[in-house]
Amino acid sequence: MQVSSVVRDPLVTGGKTVKDVSHDISRQVEGSPTRLWWMAMAVSSVFFAFGFYCVCTLLWNGVGVWGLNKTVGWAWDITNFVWWVGIGHAGTLISAILLLFRQRWRMSINRAAEAMTIFAVICAATFPLMHMGRLWLGFYWALPLPNAFGSLWANFNSPLLWDVFAISTYFTVSLVFWYIGLIPDFAVIRDRAVVQGNMLRANVYNALSFGWQGGAKTWMRYESVALILAGLSTPLVLSVHTIVSMDFATSVIPGWHTTIFPPYFVAGAIFSGFAMVLTLLLVTRVVFKLEDYITIYHIELMNIIIIVTGSVVGVAYITELFISWYSGVEYEGYAFYNRVQGPYAWAYWSMMTCNVISPQLFWIKKIRTSIAATFILSIIVNIGMWFERFVIIVTSLHRDYVPSSWTMFHPTMYDIGEYLFTFGLFFCAFLLFAKFFPVINMAEVKSIIKVGSERVAAEEIPVMEESNDTHH
Amino acid sequence: MDAEKNYLVGVFDDEDVLLSGVTSIRESGVKIHEVYSPFPVHGLDEVLGYKRSRLPIAAFLFGLTGTSLALTMQIWMLGYDWPMIIGGKNFVSLPPFIPVTFELTVLLSALGMVATFMIVSDLKPYRWPRQFDLRSTDDKHVMAIDLALNHGKSKSEITSILKAAGASEVNEKNFE
């Protein structure tokens, strides 16, 4: 019999043992990269190299090479920044919030999702830094450091400065959380390398594992650390995108000055983050043959989160429209009329289609358990979420209070180039991670083999058989 | 290092056998040096008689440091060192200081707790651990018994206690 429980589907299929887990997941790290990996790396490197040229040109000439103008002072740069930060949210949500809620299905996806978070936040951070123009002064202006202008300090009343603190804290804590999780798994690779006689690898992974041994006392402390980090990261997940939304909400620009922004941005971030996790994991599980660990059940559960957050985002769009009319403020009303009807209506309706209609397809079980449909929809959601940020930023700016300054925004090669740069950076980093680091948290998956896998089902839990009988 | 150390190493295949085994081994008077597992076994710390970790207290204290640091920094910088009127707000106005205060609380709490964890668990990048059995990171639970701590009992006596408790094999391990 291959049924483990009538209540839940098995989290690990294929009758895996604890030993199989070490083998299946360490094997990518130990073997040489596949042809597919090299191909993906080559494509990502081309993006990276072209983007790097654009970034260098930007730093040499200044932000004038972008398509910004007097009216539209924020465009692709801040759109991309908010989009990448949003992408990052799913990783911390999976590792922190789902850990606190004792959701065991997070275990085979948390490692890759956290890696995604870290790389996405790095990509995000490049945009505000580039936008400052003089990158080398950026850190110095943004941080409260003693400076040459008398004792002039950074302005702690500004949401832009809160952003600096929020993003850097988020990045640091996510990195630490991710690394703490990697430590026991590095030790697995080290010990396998000792057995295989590869002392170079053993030494490298021993250094990475900080000499981990896995004593009961260390595991006890480790679990305590993981739980507190989850407890600390949970409000952090909510605070980061809330603060990003305040960059807009505390301004007086019609279309930005909205109290719904914090929860709406957080939901949107989780929405796009889960879409990106799905895009990445659907590829990873096939390339690394991890179908037994990242199962259709995992994909289905992530799709359910997409339905929930997608619906929240949909409600927020409609609320925004309603309030712009109900408030009776003519500028606010015009900003939204212009979004729906103006020259950027195509962007608005792309956003509506991608974000409001497409996730609703996941109500159909056949679609949310289909790999192909999930893959396509996950990309559509990410496109839609990019448009959401573009619509908020550009449509609110391009027609301001003075009609003589109304204008359009046209991206230049350098706008596009820097976006491609972050794609190259992100995928190069993710591919290196997938090659040299275990992509699935072995220690956590091992701990559920006994209760959450297909294998034990029939053999060792007679109670389950009884309940199966009554059920069928 | 100490002089030669002799250990008996019991290997367990299953975490439930290990949990009941630890209880019966401790009842028979054998002192366990440490148990090494490939994954966290819940309840193992209790049957081994370990006290609860005090890391939460460390996290709290580091968090408190972050809060006070952030508040002191902002109040001093904007309120006293270089007061500036920004949007007609008071020089020292707490609401806009909350985001930075929250972030620094979380940052110091997380970093401080993790550093404490690394130090108390003796985790360092250049340290090679003393490994009793390489399979302890793969799929076996490995129990190390320090013979120096169990003077009253012979090797064969401890071996039979381990076997009776469910160990699938018992090996000897010497460290210099």
Where do the structural domains in chain B lie, given as residue ranges?
54-121
On whether any CB of chain B is under 8 Å from the CB of A19, the answer is yes
Task: Please compute the mean of the pLDDT values over residues B32-36 and round it to a whole number.
Answer: 88
Predicted local confidence at residue A468, as pLDDT? 42
Helix boundaries (H) for A250-295: 261-287
- A·B CB contacts under 8 A: 196
Amino acid identity of residue A465, one-letter, is E
CA distance B117 to B54: 10
Q: Is pLDDT above 50 for A466?
A: no
Given a contact cutoff of 8 angstroms between Cβ atoms, the answer to whether A105 and A412 are in contact is no
Given a contact cutoff of 8 angstroms between Cβ atoms, the answer to whether B15 and B41 are in contact is yes
CA distance B35 to B132: 10
- Give the list of residues 6+ apart from residue A402 with CB closer than 8 angstroms, or none: none
Q: Looking at chain A, which residue has its C-alpha nearest residue B48?
A: A216
pLDDT classification of A465: cutoffs 50, 70, 90: very low
Verify whether the Cβ–Cβ distance A222 to B114 is below 8 Å.
Answer: no
Angular region, B171: left φ>0, alpha ψ -120 to 50, beta rest:
beta
Task: Please compute the mean of the pLDDT values over residues B138-166 and round it to a whole number.
Answer: 83
CA distance A64 to A58: 8
Task: Please compute the mean of the pLDDT values over residues A85-95 and round it to a whole number.
Answer: 85
Return the number of other C-beta atoms located less than 10 Å from residue A411's C-beta: 15
Task: Please compute the mean of the pLDDT values over residues B87-91 and round it to a whole number.
Answer: 81
CA distance A388 to A83: 9
- Test mutation, B35, B47, B54, B137, chain A, max A CBs within 10 A: B137
pLDDT tens digits for range A263-322: 999 999 989 999 999 998 888 888 888 888 888 888 998 999 999 999 999 999 999 999
On whether any CB of chain B is under 8 Å from the CB of A206, the answer is yes
Facing A220 at nearest CB: one of B53, B113, B138 = B53
Strands B141-146 and B34-36: antiparallel
Which two structure tokens, joined as six digits, stand for A451? Answer: 């209760």
Verify whether the Cβ–Cβ distance A156 to B97 is below 8 Å.
Answer: yes
pLDDT classification of A354: cutoffs 50, 70, 90: very high
Residue of A266, A267, A248, A269 whose CA lies nearest to A258 = A248
pLDDT tens digits for range A237-257: 889 989 999 989 988 888 898
Q: How far apart are the CA of A310 and the nearest CA of chain B, in angstroms?
A: 27
Verify whether the Cβ–Cβ distance A156 to B107 is below 8 Å.
Answer: no
pLDDT classification of A2: cutoffs 50, 70, 90: very low
State chain A's mean pLDDT as an integer.
Answer: 86
- Give the list of residues 6+ apart from residue A35 with CB closer than 8 angstroms, or none: none
**Percentage of chain A modeled with pLDDT above 70:** 93
Q: Looking at chain B, which residue has its C-alpha nearest residue A151?
A: B82
Helix boundaries (H) for B75-167: 94-120, 155-164
Verify whether the Cβ–Cβ distance A216 to B48 is below 8 Å.
Answer: yes
Residue of A297, A301, A284 whose CA lies nearest to A25 = A284
Predicted local confidence at residue B72, as pLDDT? 94
Contacts of A152 in chain B (CB under 8 A): 82
Task: Please compute the mean of the pLDDT values over residues A404-409 and round it to a whole number.
Answer: 90
Higher pLDDT, B70 or A447: B70
Predicted local confidence at residue A454, as pLDDT? 65
Q: How far apart are the CA of A92 and the nearest CA of chain B, in angstroms?
A: 14
- Give the list of residues 6+ apart from residue A90 with CB closer than 8 angstroms, or none: A113, A116, A117, A270, A272, A273, A274, A276, A277
pLDDT classification of A158: cutoffs 50, 70, 90: confident
Sign, CA dihedral A371-A374-A376-A378, equals negative
Q: Looking at chain A, which residue has its C-alpha nearest residue B107?
A: A169
Question: 3-state class of B173 per DSSP?
Answer: strand
Predicted local confidence at residue B16, as pLDDT? 84
Q: Is pLDDT above 80 for B156?
A: yes
Given a contact cutoff of 8 angstroms between Cβ atoms, the answer to whether B9 and B36 are in contact is no
Contacts of A184 in chain B (CB under 8 A): 38-39, 137
Predicted local confidence at residue A124, as pLDDT? 92
| CA of residue A392 relative to chain centroid, distance | 20
Task: Please compute the mean of the pLDDT values over residues A445-472 and round it to a whole number.
Answer: 56
Predicted local confidence at residue B3, as pLDDT? 53
Specify which of A27-36, A419-428, B79-88 reaches the highest per-range mean pLDDT.
Answer: A419-428
Predicted local confidence at residue B161, as pLDDT? 83
On whether any CB of chain B is under 8 Å from the CB of A225, the answer is yes
| Phi, psi for A424 (deg, rounded to 5) | -60, -45
Which two structure tokens, joined as six digits, stand for A180? Answer: 């703490």
Task: Please compute the mean of the pLDDT values over residues B85-96 and round it to a whole number.
Answer: 83
On whether any CB of chain B is under 8 Å from the CB of A219, the answer is yes
Predicted local confidence at residue A435, as pLDDT? 87
CA distance A213 to A183: 10
List the single range of A68-82, A243-257, A388-402, A447-461 with lowest mean pLDDT.
Answer: A447-461
Specify which of A41-45, A59-63, B92-96 reaches the highest per-range mean pLDDT.
Answer: A41-45
On whether any CB of chain B is under 8 Å from the CB of A30, the answer is no
Verify whether the Cβ–Cβ distance A169 to B131 is below 8 Å.
Answer: no
Predicted local confidence at residue A469, as pLDDT? 41
**H helix or E strand, kind and range, residue A242:** helix A216-249
Q: Looking at chain B, which residue has its C-alpha nearest residue A213?
A: B129
Task: Please compute the mean of the pLDDT values over residues A61-87 and round it to a whole number.
Answer: 90
Q: Is pLDDT above 60 for A341?
A: yes
Q: Is A371 exposed, middle or buried (0-12, 13-18, 19+ CB in 10 A)?
A: middle
- Test mutation, B18, B23, B39, chain A, max A CBs within 10 A: B39
Task: Please compute the mean of the pLDDT values over residues A385-401 and round it to a whole number.
Answer: 91
Given a contact cutoff of 8 angstroms between Cβ atoms, the answer to whether A29 and A437 are in contact is yes
Q: Looking at chain B, which residue has its C-alpha nearest residue A250?
A: B96
Predicted local confidence at residue A1, as pLDDT? 43
Predicted local confidence at residue A459, as pLDDT? 52
Verify whether the Cβ–Cβ distance A228 to B55 is below 8 Å.
Answer: yes
Higher pLDDT, A346 or A108: A346
Task: Please compute the mean of the pLDDT values over residues B61-73 and round it to a whole number.
Answer: 94
Predicted local confidence at residue A27, as pLDDT? 85
Residues 161-190 of A with CB under 8 A from B: 161-162, 165-166, 169, 172-173, 176-177, 180, 183-184, 187-188, 190
Q: Is pLDDT above 80 for B151?
A: no
**DSSP code at position B86:** -
Q: Looking at chain B, which residue has its C-alpha nearest residue A228?
A: B56
Task: Please compute the mean of the pLDDT values over residues B131-142 and round it to a whole number.
Answer: 86
CA distance A45 to A312: 37
Q: Is pLDDT above 90 for B6?
A: no
Q: Is pLDDT above 50 for A461?
A: no
- Give the list of residues 6+ apart from residue A444 with CB closer than 8 angstroms, or none: A107, A110, A181, B39
Q: State which CATH number among 3.40.50.300, 1.20.120.1200, 1.20.1630.10, 3.10.20.70 fits the domain covering A18-145+154-448.
A: 1.20.1630.10
Predicted local confidence at residue A456, as pLDDT? 55
Verify whether the Cβ–Cβ distance A207 to B125 is below 8 Å.
Answer: yes
Sign, CA dihedral B12-B16-B21-B26, equals positive
- Test mutation, A99, A160, A219, A229, chain B, max B CBs within 10 A: A219
| Phi, psi for A389 (deg, rounded to 5) | -65, -40
Question: 3-state class of B70 per DSSP?
Answer: helix
ipTM (interface predicted TM): 0.91
Angular region, A133: left φ>0, alpha ψ -120 to 50, beta rest:
left
Contacts of A452 in chain B (CB under 8 A): none
Exposure b/e, B122-156, CB count within 10 A at least 16 = b? ebeeeeebebbbebbbbbbbbbbbebeebeebeee
Facing A153 at nearest CB: one of B38, B48, B78 = B78
Contacts of A96 in chain B (CB under 8 A): none
Higher pLDDT, A98 or A386: A386
Give the DSSP per-residue string, A57-85: HHHHH-GGGSS--SS--SSHHHHHHHHHH
